């Protein structure tokens, strides 16, 4: 387990939308490098970059044409290597996005696999042996290629599934998980990982990590075995490299697959949604962090605690603000509500992730779809730096921008919020600094619930520290023996301590120690 994860706070960057350094309207690697001081000053010491590889961009770059080539629109391999070096100089690690489950249908491997004559890549993707037979229960395409078969999709129609084999094989054309062609796919993906690790990257966020072996069992044990094999390569050759999975089943991903971290996603299970996004279930918004929503923290804990207890000795659950697939928190939360969420995020166990722009409360924008984003596009608009043209994102003409910038007169910017000590940005900086300041707030330090009921004070212990949170609009008190002798270490809102009780003002959070 890489030691550095204990104190890691990640910042996710969607590359086309962060900073356009060459003025062509789309963000680039040199733009990210130029803004690394901002990331460092925020307190983030690790980055996750969405895919930066050659791609036709029918799915924001998750449709890879060449795993070992930087997309020309983002720059060159030399730019990426320089980004790694500049980040490392500032104490920032960099994770790239690994997409192991599928490629673009323009990838050379896939083109070869489509030929009528068998060749080295015939078994690289999931193909049936007959063009008139489908794949029960799975999406597939037939009749488009020379090869007499149908091929399976892993996501959009342009993303054919790579072949890691089938656990439960019901057809002759299904490869076994240890068939040579399935093993060759796995080795090809390890080769991609080594390629970038050898050039200075610090690990990977793994896309759809649970999707590799088809007809896997309910524990996804055959897929997990592949990741354990990858983990042993890392332990042996790259012990400082980190892996975070898009799996959202920490027991399977961490305990089974050996991932260091697994995301606590919004679209699998409902723990995250009960905190920030209860509106997705329909009806009244009962999100816990919405002031006076009547939300109940126990709905989150019921989901989170068993997962935490089951995995805490082996890895970390990663909570986040949102990501490039999900609505930004500002869609429904006010700045004050977000401040409390950040204080909570930075004091919970596991490794937290901040999505670019959430630290200033960027809006979920109403914009047309771009590159297969659909409703996700609203969370992918350009970073809002300052009040120079295009909010400091790019000097290109507005009509040439990757996505429109927020043109509202009150659009939030990092520069404005720098000036205001009470801004969301400065509050986020404060809580990230607090996290770095106490060993008891690190990813692996102990966590125990002290008090949890509805929107009353939620109190939890981290080592010897106590965190108390009142998201509601009315002052709330908590009395507990564990508060005795404690002092206020850091506060957002208002808190008063006396003997064995704390009085928290409306919408307040305090760290006691
Ligand atoms: C999850 C990624 O986060 C998403 O953006 C992408 O479209 C799918 N996986 C397919 O790769």
In a domain? residue 261 = yes
Q: Whose CA is nearest to atom 5 of ligand 1?
A: 325
Question: Could you give the CA distance from residue 288 to residue 130 in angstroms, rounded to a whole number?
Answer: 52
Tokens standing for residue 459:
């109190």
**Are 455 and 478 in contact, with CB atoms under 8 Å apart?**
no
Whether residues 314 and 196 fall in one domain: yes
In a domain? residue 240 = yes
Q: Which of 97, 268, 325, 372 to mutate to test the pocket of ligand 1 (most atoms within 8 A of CB)?
A: 325
**Are 11 and 354 in contact, with CB atoms under 8 Å apart?**
yes
In a domain? residue 414 = yes
Domain residue limits at 400? 3-101+182-437
Whether residues 96 and 125 fall in one domain: no
pLDDT tens per residue, range 312-328: 999 999 999 999 999 99
Tokens standing for residue 167:
């656990």
**Are 408 and 430 in contact, with CB atoms under 8 Å apart?**
no
Whether residues 54 and 110 fall in one domain: no
Count up the domains in the chain and report the number: 3
From the candidates 202, 246, 296, 337, which is the catalytic residue?
246
- Regarding the beta carbon of 359 and ligand 1, being less than 6 Å apart is answered no
Angle, alpha carbons 156-162-168 (nearest 5°): 105
Q: What is the CATH number of the domain that holds 494?
A: 2.60.40.1180
Q: Whose CA is nearest to atom 8 of ligand 1?
A: 62
The residue out of 376, 409, 437 marking a domain boundary is 437
3-state SS record for 63-81 = CCCEEEEECCCCCCHHHHH
Whether residues 150 and 235 fall in one domain: no
- Regarding the beta carbon of 268 and ligand 1, being less than 6 Å apart is answered no
Whether residues 430 and 451 fall in one domain: no
From the candidates 97, 207, 296, 336, which is the catalytic residue?
207
Predicted local confidence at residue 13, as pLDDT: 99
Q: Which of 53, 153, 159, 207 to mutate to test the pocket of ligand 1 (most atoms within 8 A of CB)?
A: 207
pTM of the model: 0.98
**Are 23 and 393 in contact, with CB atoms under 8 Å apart?**
no
Predicted local confidence at residue 133, as pLDDT: 82
The residue out of 437, 461, 493 marking a domain boundary is 437
Question: Could you give the CA distance from residue 462 to residue 290 in angstroms, rounded to a whole number?
Answer: 24
Question: Could you give the CA distance from residue 363 to residue 140 in angstroms, rounded to a whole number?
Answer: 37
List the one residue out of 236, 239, 244 whose CA is nearest residue 260: 244
- Regarding the beta carbon of 62 and ligand 1, being less than 6 Å apart is answered yes
**Is position 37 annotated as part of the catalytic site?**
no
- Regarding the beta carbon of 51 and ligand 1, being less than 6 Å apart is answered no
Q: Do you know the residue count of the chain? A: 513
- Regarding the beta carbon of 207 and ligand 1, being less than 6 Å apart is answered yes
Predicted local confidence at residue 284, as pLDDT: 87
In a domain? residue 175 = no
**Residue corresponding to tokens 């962060």:** 18
Whether residues 424 and 339 fall in one domain: yes
**Residue corresponding to tokens 């799975």:** 138
Q: What is the CATH number of the domain that holds 248?
A: 3.20.20.80
Q: Which atom of ligand 1 is nearest to the CA of 376?
A: 5
In a domain? residue 177 = no
- Per-residue burial over 67-98, b if 16 or more Cβ lie within 10 Å, else e, is beebbebbbeeebbbbbbebbeeeebbbbbbb
Whether residues 314 and 233 fall in one domain: yes
Whether residues 107 and 91 fall in one domain: no
Predicted local confidence at residue 269, as pLDDT: 62
Whether residues 89 and 227 fall in one domain: yes
> Phi, psi at residue 166, to the nearest 5°?
-120, 140
**Are 447 and 349 in contact, with CB atoms under 8 Å apart?**
yes
HSE on the CB side for 379, CA within 13 Å?
24
In a domain? residue 172 = no
Other Cβ atoms within 10 Å of 25 Cβ, number = 21
3-state SS record for 469-490 = EECCCCCEEEECHHHCCCCEEE
Query: Measured in angstroms, how far is the CA atom of residue 510 from the centroid of ligand 1?
Result: 37
* Averaged pLDDT of the chain: 97
Q: Which atom of ligand 1 is nearest to the CA of 323?
A: 3
Q: Whose CA is nearest to atom 6 of ligand 1?
A: 62
- Virtual CA dihedral for 408, 412, 415, 419, nearest 10 degrees? 120
Q: What is the CATH number of the domain that holds 109?
A: 3.90.400.10
**Are 15 and 49 in contact, with CB atoms under 8 Å apart?**
yes
In a domain? residue 176 = no
What pairing do the DSSP bridges indicate for beta strands 150-152 and 140-142?
Answer: antiparallel
SS3 194: helix
Q: Whose CA is nearest to atom 2 of ligand 1?
A: 207
Whether residues 339 and 253 fall in one domain: yes
- Regarding the beta carbon of 7 and ligand 1, being less than 6 Å apart is answered no
pLDDT tens per residue, range 107-116: 999 999 999 9
Q: Which of 62, 96, 327 to mutate to test the pocket of ligand 1 (most atoms within 8 A of CB)?
A: 62
Angle, alpha carbons 92-201-94 (nearest 5°): 30
Q: What are the beta bridge partners of residue 320?
A: 353
Query: Measured in angstroms, how far is the CA atom of residue 137 from the centroid of ligand 1?
Result: 20
Segments of the chain with pLDDT less than 50:
none
Predicted local confidence at residue 134, as pLDDT: 87
Give, rounded to a whole angstrom, the gap between the first and last alpha carbons of the chain. 28
The residue out of 437, 455, 478 marking a domain boundary is 437
- Regarding the beta carbon of 99 and ligand 1, being less than 6 Å apart is answered yes
Predicted local confidence at residue 270, as pLDDT: 75
Whether residues 94 and 137 fall in one domain: no
What pairing do the DSSP bridges indicate for beta strands 316-318 and 261-263?
Answer: parallel
**Is position 246 annotated as part of the catalytic site?**
yes
Q: Which of 59, 63, 98, 248 to mutate to test the pocket of ligand 1 (most atoms within 8 A of CB)?
A: 59
Q: Strands across the sheet with 495-498, in order? A: 476-479, 501-504, 495-498
Q: Where are the beta strands (DSSP E) in 328-415?
A: 353-355
In a domain? residue 68 = yes
List the one residue out of 364, 327, 363, 358 whose CA is nearest residue 345: 358
Whether residues 402 and 465 fall in one domain: no
């Amino acid at each position: 387990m890489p030691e550095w994860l204990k104190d890691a706070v990640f910042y996710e960057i969607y590359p086309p939308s962060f900073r356009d350094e060459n003025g062509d309207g789309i963000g680039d690697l040199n733009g990210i490098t130029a803004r690394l001081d901002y990331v460092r000053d925020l307190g983030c010491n690790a980055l996750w970059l969405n895919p930066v590889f050659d791609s036709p961009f029918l799915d924001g770059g998750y449709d890879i044409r060449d795993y070992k080539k930087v997309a020309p629109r983002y720059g060159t391999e030399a730019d990426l290597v320089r980004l790694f070096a500049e980040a490392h100089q500032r104490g920032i690690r960099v994770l790239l996005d690994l997409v192991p489950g599928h490629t673009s249908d323009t990838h050379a491997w896939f083109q070869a696999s489509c030929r009528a004559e068998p060749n080295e890549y015939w078994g690289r993707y999931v193909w049936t042996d007959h063009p008139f037979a489908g794949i029960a229960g799975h999406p597939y395409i037939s009749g488009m290629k020379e090869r007499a078969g149908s091929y399976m999709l892993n996501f959009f129609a342009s993303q054919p599934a790579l072949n890691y084999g089938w656990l439960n094989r019901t057809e002759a054309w299904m490869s076994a998980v240890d068939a040579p062609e399935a093993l060759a796919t796995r080795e090809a993906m390890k080769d991609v990982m080594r390629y970038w690790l050898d050039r200075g990257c610090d690990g990977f966020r793994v896309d759809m990590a649970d999707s590799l072996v088809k007809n896997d069992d309910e524990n996804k044990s055959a897929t997990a075995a592949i990741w354990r094999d990858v983990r042993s390569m890392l332990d042996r050759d790259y012990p400082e490299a980190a892996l975070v999975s898009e799996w959202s089943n920490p027991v399977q991903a961490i305990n089974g697959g050996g991932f260091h971290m697994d995301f606590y996603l919004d679209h699998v299970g409902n723990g995250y949604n009960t905190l920030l996004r209860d509106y997705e279930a329909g009806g009244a918004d009962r999100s816990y962090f919405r002031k006076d929503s009547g939300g109940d923290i126990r709905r989150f804990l019921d989901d989170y605690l068993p997962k935490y207890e089951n995995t805490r000795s082996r890895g970390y659950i990663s909570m986040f603000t949102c990501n490039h697939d999900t609505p930004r928190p500002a869609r429904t939360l006010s700045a004050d509500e977000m401040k409390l969420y950040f204080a909570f995020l930075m004091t919970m166990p596991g490794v937290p992730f901040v999505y670019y722009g959430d630290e200033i409360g960027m809006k979920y924008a109403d914009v047309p779809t771009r590159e297969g984003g659909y409703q996700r596009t609203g969370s992918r608009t350009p970073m809002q730096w300052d009040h120079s043209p295009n909010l400091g994102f790019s000097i290109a003409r507005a009509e040439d921008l990757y996505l429109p910038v927020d043109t509202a007169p009150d659009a939030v910017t990092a520069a404005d919020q720098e000036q205001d000590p009470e801004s969301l940005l400065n509050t986020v900086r404060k809580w990230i600094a607090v996290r770095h300041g106490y060993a008891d707030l690190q990813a692996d330090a102990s966590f125990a619930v002290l008090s949890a009921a509805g929107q009353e004070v939620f109190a939890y212990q981290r080592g010897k520290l106590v965190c108390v949170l009142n998201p509601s609009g009315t002052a709330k008190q908590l009395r507990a023996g564990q508060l005795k002798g404690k002092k206020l270490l850091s506060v957002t809102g208002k808190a008063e301590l006396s003997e064995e009780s704390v009085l928290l003002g409306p919408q307040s959070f305090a760290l006691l120690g």
